[in-house]
Structure 1
Amino acid sequence: MNLSVLMSTLRVTLAASAIGLIFSVQASQAAKRDQLPESYPESRYAIDASMKPWRSIGEINVAGQRRCSGVLIHQSLVLTAAHCLWNPWKNRFYPATEIHFVAGAQLDTHLAHSRGKKLVGSKDYHFKEHPPFRELVHDWALLELAKPLGRWIGYIPLSTAPLKNGSDNLLLAGYRQDRPYVLSLSKRCSLIKNRGNALLEHNCHAFEGDSGGPLIQVHEFPGEPSQFRVVGVQVAQVEIRSPKQLRVVSIAVANTLISPFALQFIQDIQQTELNSSPAES
């Protein structure tokens, strides 16, 4: 389905439901604890960030401040949310060299660190504190690192396959702000709705700091190690209000929207490395 048609349909659906529903998107990605309904679970699992594959996940620091989460999807390529890297005072992305990725961060230690080298994001992204739902499709960014950290600590590949509705082998990982030095997981999540292979509505429990964190699909096979694939990047929480209830769902930008840009970026990185390699005599 054409994305513009999808979003128009979505707006109509919301407007048609406006008598009983009010949707608000909080692109700072997380409902704060005092804003959460009692029915919204807060259970998360702290994990050892030094172990594979979790050490491929890290903190995004910009201008000396911890901002968000991110994940290595290739040797030197990090996937995160665009709003994590946006300078609202200058109305543009921060320079890549001012962005830091700290992998395997845990308490006062970390496994690896690198500054950014090059940044690619959607040309249609513009920061808004409370963006319209339809604009969340642009809230992704790819950061090339100055050092190929994934070569040493590993990375979690970005899946290119569409995620099916009802998939229940998902997890969300990130450095939430109420526990900023501990990597934690929301496990055993499921996909509520794949909106046109552009946005993924899921029920993983997200909080501030989770923006840019990976939505991961786990494939398990008898007698073999589990396989992990990134299927989306966490960008927002959506509150669905009605006279009788408040429901909170999480939104990730889908892998199928990001993967063409990521694959091209990886090819460009590899070509640059090839061109800079000494010629064999």
Structure 2
Amino acid sequence: MRTLPLLGLILALQAAPSTAQQSPLVAMQTGDDSRGWQAVGRLQLGDRGFCTATLIAEDLVLTAAHCLFDKETGARLPIETIEFRAGWRNGRAEAYRNLRAAVVHPDYVYSGAEDLERVGYDVALLQLDRPVKLPQVQPFPTGPEPDANTDVGVVSYAQDRSEAPSLERSCQVLDRGGDILVLSCDVDFGASGSPVFEMGPEGPRVVSVISAKAESQGRKIALGVGIETALPLLKAELGLGKPGKVRLLSGTGGAKFVKP
């Protein structure tokens, strides 16, 4: 999880304030708590920490692009040092998988300096070395990014809750600009790559990936990237089909923000 230097951030795209009640962050410490969420896992980055990641097919995992880079050198982490631990909870995972391949959004460029415009491209797709075929670990479907004022949920690991995932069942999309979502959700270091879910009648579907945390007018917020446009590109990079009809990405990376 990156902290962007955006204290006092002012959103140029102002949405009406949400009146929905935000649910508390709940740790999923037991098997009953985590049932149905085991496809969310901890992405272990060798000895350099971890991110959160999500199984969206038996052998495909979504996370944030910046998780795959060494923050000190800017180099890509060797994929052999990365391990996906599905449903990690209290020292044990439902499944452990290494990576066969990993690709980041073709417009994502990593650098040591934080850049708000890169948030709109901060998504990566990982191909596991072996598929996860377990009845209790069901990949999540994906969907288009939601509009402003939509209720969403987040499942994440973080620095002070690294041994079990936490669920925030209801937070809100405060604003949206291009492929960047501004969220009221509670995130912290380690939550990079966490899935943002929209809870539909057929169950949760992944609509965004957490990229960073920031502040707006003294209020803590989270920034996420939509995946609808990115997924076909990432799958094509892995040789899993042609991207087909792709919506043109904004040259400014999506949302427009101004600093005071």
Give TM-score scaled by structure 1 length. Answer: 0.71
For residues 37-89 of structure 1, give each alpha carbon's deviation from its aligned partner in whole angstroms, at most 9, with x where no partner exists: xxxx9941012575443100001111234311000011101100111110245
Q: In 1, distance between residues paired with 2:213 and 2:120? A: 14
Match of 1:216 in 2: 197
Q: Which amino acid aligns with 1:207?
A: D
1:116 deviates by 0.8
Q: In 2, distance between residues paired with 1:167 and 1:178? A: 28
Structure 2, unmatched stretches of 5+, are 1-5, 11-21, 242-260
Is this contact kept in 1: 2:102–2:126, CA < 8 A? yes
1:259 is paired with a residue whose SS is helix
Is this contact kept in 2: 1:79–1:141, CA < 8 A? yes
Is this contact kept in 2: 1:96–1:143, CA < 8 A? no
For residues 210-237 of structure 1, give each alpha carbon's deviation from its aligned partner in whole angstroms, at most 9, with x where no partner exists: 11110011113xxxxx511000000111
Q: Any residues of structure 2 matched to 1:31-42 within 5 Å, and which?
A: none
Q: In 1, distance between residues paired with 2:57 and 2:236? A: 12
Q: In 2, distance between residues paired with 1:248 and 1:232? A: 18
Is this contact kept in 2: 1:76–1:150, CA < 8 A? no
**Which of 96, 100, 106 is residue 89 of structure 2 equivalent to?**
106
1:23 matched to 2:9: yes
Is this contact kept in 2: 1:59–1:66, CA < 8 A? no
Match of 2:246 in 1: none
Q: In 2, distance between residues paired with 1:62 and 1:266? A: 21
Q: In 1, distance between residues paired with 2:112 and 2:27? A: 29
Q: In 2, distance between residues paired with 1:262 and 1:157? A: 16
1:90 deviates by 4.5
1:233 matched to 2:206: no
What number of residue pairs does the alignment pair up? 222
1:132 deviates by 2.1
Is this contact kept in 2: 1:72–1:150, CA < 8 A? no
1:261 matched to 2:243: no
Structure 1 residue ranges, 4+ long, deviating more than 6 angstroms after superposition:
none
Match of 1:191 in 2: 173
**Which of 175, 181, 186 is residue 163 of structure 2 equivalent to?**
181
1:119 matched to 2:99: no
Match of 2:184 in 1: 203
* Change in 2 beyond 3 A, CA 1:262/1:126: closer
Q: In 2, distance between residues paired with 1:151 and 1:174? A: 21
1:55 is paired with a residue whose SS is coil
1:138 deviates by 2.1
* Structure number with higher relative contact order (C-alpha < 8 Å, ≥ 6 residues apart): 2
Structure 1, unmatched stretches of 5+, are 1-17, 25-40, 221-225, 270-281
1:263 deviates by 4.7
Task: State the identity as a percent.
Answer: 25
Higher helix share: 1
Match of 2:253 in 1: none
Q: In 2, distance between residues paired with 1:115 and 1:193? A: 36
Is this contact kept in 2: 1:42–1:205, CA < 8 A? no
Q: Which amino acid aligns with 1:240?
A: S
Is this contact kept in 1: 2:210–2:222, CA < 8 A? yes
Q: Which amino acid aligns with 2:226?
A: A
Q: Highest CA radius of gyration, 1 or 2?
A: 1
Higher strand share: 2
Q: In 2, distance between residues paired with 1:249 and 1:88? A: 22
